[in-house]
C-alpha cells in the first residue's frame, strides 16, 4: 500500500492496459466452456447441456484431424527455420555497415514490405504466380521451361507462404535486434579492436552474446505460437487445388464454427490448439532458462 500511495501515477497509467486484458482476453476465456457443451443459440452457453469430451473425441476420430495437425506443424516449423535466423543475420550485417546512406537505404527497402496489408500481399502473390500472366512463368517460358500453376500445386504452397513471410517481415523483425545491438557497451568493441579481433570475431564474441537475451525471448514466443499459424493469409491463399496442404487448424475452425455453425466442435479444436501452445510455451521457457539463463519468467 505504501508503494501504491507513493507511485500512484504509474499504477494509474497501467489501469487501461490491465482493463483491456481483463475485458478482451481473460473474460472471453469463459466462453471456452462451449467445447464441453452441446451449444445452441436458444439455450445459450450456460443453458446448453453438458457433453463432456464428445467433441474432442469427434475431432480426433476424424481422419482429417491428423492431416490438419501435420499441415499446421509443418508450416510453423518451416516458418521458424526460414524466418527466425534471417532478421538476426540482417541486423548483424547492418550493424557492420559504416556507410550511413547505404545502411538507411537497406533498412527502408527491407522494412517497407511490412506495411503491405495481407490482402494486397496475397493479391500480389496470385498475380506474380499466375500461369498466364505471372512474371515467374514468363521467366520460365523465356528459358524454354513449361509454365507452372504455383498456387494450384499443393507441394509449393508452404514454400510460397513462408518465403513471402520472409520478404514481408525480415526487415521489421531486424529492428528489435538492431535496438539490442545499439545497447552493447562500445568499450567492448574498443577492447576487441586493441586485441586485434576481426569483424567476424567481434560478431561471435560481442554482438551475438549481447543480443542473446532478445533472441531467446523471441524464440520462446515463436515456439509458443507454433500451432497458431495465421488464419487470414492462409485462407486467402487457399483454393480447391491446394487444400491438401493448405488446410490448417485455424481455417478448419473457421469453416466448422462459422460457416457450418458447429460452435462446440470448433470450440473444442480451438481449445486444444490453445492448450498445446501453452504447453509448448512453458516447455520452451524452461528449456531456455536451463540452457542460457534467459527466460520470460
Strand partners, 37: 50
Answer yes or no: is pLDDT of 292 > 90.
no
Residue 184 is predicted with a pLDDT of 92
SS3 content of the chain, % helix, strand, coil (to 5): 80, 0, 20
Question: What whole-number percentage of the chain has pLDDT above 90?
Answer: 72
Give the torsion sign (CA, 60, 61, 64, 66): positive
Answer yes or no: is pLDDT of 3 > 80.
no
**CA-wise closest residue to 83 among 282, 226, 204:** 226
Residue 230 is predicted with a pLDDT of 79
- Which cell goes with 167? 520478404
Answer yes or no: is pLDDT of 2 > 80.
no
Report the SS3 class of residue 288: helix
**CA-wise closest residue to 276 among 230, 217, 226:** 226
124-142: per-residue pLDDT in tens? 999 999 988 899 999 999 9
Answer yes or no: is pLDDT of 1 > 90.
no
165-198: per-residue pLDDT in tens? 999 999 999 999 999 999 999 899 999 999 999 9
229-250: per-residue pLDDT in tens? 878 999 999 999 999 999 999 9
Looking at domain 52-292, which of 3.40.190.10, 1.10.3720.10, 1.10.10.10, 1.10.510.10 is its CATH number?
1.10.3720.10
Residue 26 is predicted with a pLDDT of 92
**CA-wise closest residue to 85 among 11, 15, 12, 166:** 166
The overall pTM is greater than 0.85: yes
23-75: per-residue pLDDT in tens? 998 998 998 999 999 998 888 888 999 999 999 999 999 989 999 999 999 99
Sequence ranges of the domains in the chain: 52-292
For residues 286 and 290, give the distance between their C-alpha atoms in angstroms, rounded to a whole number.
6
Amino acid at each position: 500500500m505504501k508503494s501504491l500511495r507513493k507511485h500512484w501515477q504509474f499504477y494509474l497509467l497501467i489501469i487501461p492496459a490491465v482493463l483491456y486484458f481483463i475485458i478482451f482476453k481473460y473474460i472471453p476465456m469463459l466462453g471456452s466452456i462451449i467445447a464441453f457443451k452441446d451449444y445452441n443459440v436458444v439455450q445459450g452457453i450456460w443453458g446448453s447441456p453438458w457433453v463432456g469430451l464428445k467433441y474432442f473425441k469427434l475431432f480426433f476420430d476424424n481422419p482429417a484431424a491428423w492431416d490438419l495437425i501435420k499441415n499446421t506443424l509443418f508450416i510453423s516449423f518451416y516458418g521458424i527455420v526460414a524466418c527466425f535466423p534471417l532478421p538476426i543475420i540482417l541486423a548483424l550485417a547492418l550493424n557492420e555497415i559504416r556507410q550511413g546512406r547505404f545502411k538507411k537505404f537497406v533498412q527502408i527497402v527491407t522494412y517497407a514490405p511490412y506495411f503491405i496489408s495481407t490482402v494486397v500481399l496475397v493479391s500480389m502473390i496470385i498475380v506474380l504466380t499466375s500461369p498466364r500472366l505471372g512474371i515467374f512463368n514468363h521467366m520460365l517460358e523465356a528459358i524454354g521451361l513449361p509454365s507452372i500453376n504455383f498456387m494450384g500445386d499443393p507441394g509449393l504452397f508452404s514454400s510460397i507462404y513462408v518465403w513471402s513471410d520472409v520478404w514481408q517481415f525480415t526487415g521489421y523483425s531486424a529492428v528489435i535486434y538492431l535496438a539490442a545491438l545499439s545497447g552493447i557497451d562500445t568499450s567492448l568493441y574498443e577492447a576487441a579492436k586493441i586485441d586485434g579481433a576481426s569483424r567476424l570475431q567481434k560478431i561471435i564474441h560481442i554482438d551475438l552474446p549481447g543480443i542473446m537475451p532478445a533472441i531467446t525471448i523471441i524464440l520462446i514466443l515463436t515456439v509458443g505460437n507454433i500451432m497458431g499459424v495465421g488464419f487470414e493469409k492462409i485462407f486467402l491463399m487457399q483454393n480447391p487445388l491446394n487444400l491438401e496442404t493448405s488446410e490448417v487448424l485455424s481455417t478448419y475452425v473457421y469453416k466448422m464454427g462459422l460457416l457450418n455453425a458447429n460452435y462446440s466442435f470448433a470450440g473444442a479444436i480451438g481449445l486444444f490448439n490453445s492448450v498445446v501452445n501453452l504447453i509448448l510455451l512453458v516447455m520452451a521457457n524452461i528449456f531456455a532458462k536451463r540452457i542460457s539463463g534467459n527466460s520470460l519468467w
